[in-house]
Amino acid sequence: MLTDKLKSFHIILASGSPRRQQFFKELGIDFEIRLKEIEEVFPIELKAAEITNYLAELKASAFENQLQPNDILITSDTIVWHQGQCLGKPKDDADAFQMLQSLSDATHEVITSVCFKTVAKTETFFAITKVTFQTLSNQEIRYYLDNYKPFDKAGSYAIQEWIGAIGISKIEGSYTNVVGMPMHLVYEKLKTFIA
């Protein structure tokens, strides 16, 4: 079991996301939350998973020369990729409303990259999930924004909230990836990373 293999390692999750923290609790492994403020800016020429790979690695680089030999640092980043555009966290209410209007009656991609870093090596991987929304009325979008305030979420929505229940008609790929981290990949990669 993974928990036995990890006994000699110290897992550091560098994420303030309650959803990612909950996933790690559910894995049943001990971990520490350690946060650093990072300005999440990426080169404009990057596309899709190049963006999330870059940002996950940028977050990991903030811990350079601060890791112990038995530490495994885990960082990640999620974006919504739609019509050739990166939809991150909305700037304000109007931006969130516009994002959800653009996602209505369309399919987009949720991309999450995860970076594992130790003193000796760094490994980054990503998952892509396709999510299809049925048509959302302006009233439904307004209700969701007013009641759930998803302003800290890429694409201005959380699949596990009301809008996911009433609006998402199809999902292709990992559900946990849309919530914030592709846990099936994290689990498998951790097994090989420490082998």
Give me the active site residues, please. 77
- Please measure the distance between the N-terminal and C-terminal CA atoms of the chain and give it in whole angstroms: 12
- CA torsion 193→27→19→114, rounded to 10°? 10
* Strand bridging mode 71-82 / 10-13: parallel
Residue with tokens 């939809």: 87
Q: 104 burial class (0-12, 13-18, 19+ CB within 10 angstroms)?
A: middle
- CA–CA gap between residue 72 and residue 6 (Å, rounded): 10
